Amino acid sequence: MQFPPVEAPKQSHGHAVADALAGSTRGLALGRLGSLAAWIASVQGADVPAPFARPRAIVVAGNHGIAARGLSAWTAEAGSAQAEQLRSGAGPAHAAARLAGSSLRFIGDYLDTPTGAIDIEPAVSAQVWEAALAAGAEVADNEIDSGADILVPGDIGVGNTTIAAAVYGTFTRTEPVKAIGRGSGINDKVWKVKIAAVRDAMFRVRDFRDDTERVCAELTGPDFAFLVGLTAQAATRRTPVLVGEVYPTVAAYVAERLAPGTKGWLLAGQTTAEPAHTGCLEALDLKPVLALDMKTGQGAGALAALPQLNLAAELAGEVLAGGASSSD
């Protein structure tokens, strides 16, 4: 699908907020919170940033045929168990969402969708990937039309870091050994299995590695396509997206490839040691709010940063409105 052109955030508002904070005599040096406040003003198109009133987390579950290779510390059934926990109202994402003042929507449509083992065969057909991309865009539209003012994508899926590494390695020409990390906490033996899987997957797509959608259909799955569509469409609708873990971050990197300008609407909630994560953050020019190294998934790492954004907006609003008390 073709995404509409992405308009850049209103940088003039962000610059004005940054200048006002820098020149304030109220005695508050906000540091990084000040730059976050300026970013919020830019994406809100506001003279004074406001805390996000209706954040919405969207957690999508998927499965990967490559997980059968035993390249994770988790069994292939762990994804289904996490999904059931989330459906019951429990799990890391719900806990983080409650504390962050966010609502949460779970997408389980792709949990039972068959996907191929990417080291020897395509993950899904181009048609399946395209349909999931459009579904993600549709959910973005629905959520924004319902009043969401920031989206927080999350993921559930065994083998997600393997998929992320294969996509990152392919598009950035990074060797498999430098593209993968320890993911769920794998040992050296499993790490070698993971390297082989990513190497063979990247080799399969080498002749068309600049064809973004074809590569992604071969290497990812409908849950990944959904996240790409969600992120890209949010950007076209001038709605910010807060990413936290490696899978949504690599999806955001792909969204930028399909809808240039998307990165202007992105903020990184946290970072991990996964090379695909740090590499995509660098490519997107994103500086994480927190350094948590959370590999929990489900968007929990991004949700952990959301209160910091609202604090930044609240404090900046106090200074700009003249409501802060002065100090020496």
Residue 300, CB half-sphere, CA atoms under 13 Å: how many?
A: 17
SS3 assignment, position 180: coil
pLDDT at residue number 253: 98
The residues with which 55 forms a beta bridge, in sequence order, are 150
What pTM was estimated for this model as a whole?
A: 0.93
Inform me whether the pLDDT recorded for 100 exceeds 90.
yes
Place of tokens 């003003």: 41
What is the per-residue pLDDT for 139? 98
Q: Does domain 54-307 have CATH number 3.40.50.10210?
A: yes
Residues ≥6 apart with Cβ < 8 Å to 21:
28, 30, 34, 37, 38, 316, 319, 320
Cβ atoms 222, 113 nearer than 8 A: yes
pLDDT tens figures, 258-308:
999 999 999 999 999 899 999 999 999 999 999 888 877 889 999 999 999
Distance in angstroms (rounded) separating the CA atoms of residues 151 and 160: 20
Joined together, the tokens standing for residue 256 give: 């930028």
Q: What is the mean pLDDT of the segment spanning 10-32?
A: 79
Instruction: Check residue 206 and report its DSSP letter.
Output: G
d(Cα 46, Cα 52) in Å, to the nearest integer? 12
Mention every residue, 6+ apart, whose C-beta is less than 8 A from residue 167.
Answer: 215, 216, 219, 220, 224, 250, 254, 276
The share of the chain scoring above pLDDT 90, in percent, equals 70
**31-65, pLDDT tens digit by residue?**
889 999 999 999 999 999 999 999 999 999 999 99
Greatest distance between any 2 Cα atoms in the chain: 66
d(CA 207, CA 164): 19
pLDDT digits (tens, 9 = 90+) for 131-167: 999 999 999 999 999 999 999 999 999 889 999 999 9
Q: Residue 104 and residue 86: Cα distance in Å, rounded? A: 10
Cα separation of 319 and 316, whole Å? 5
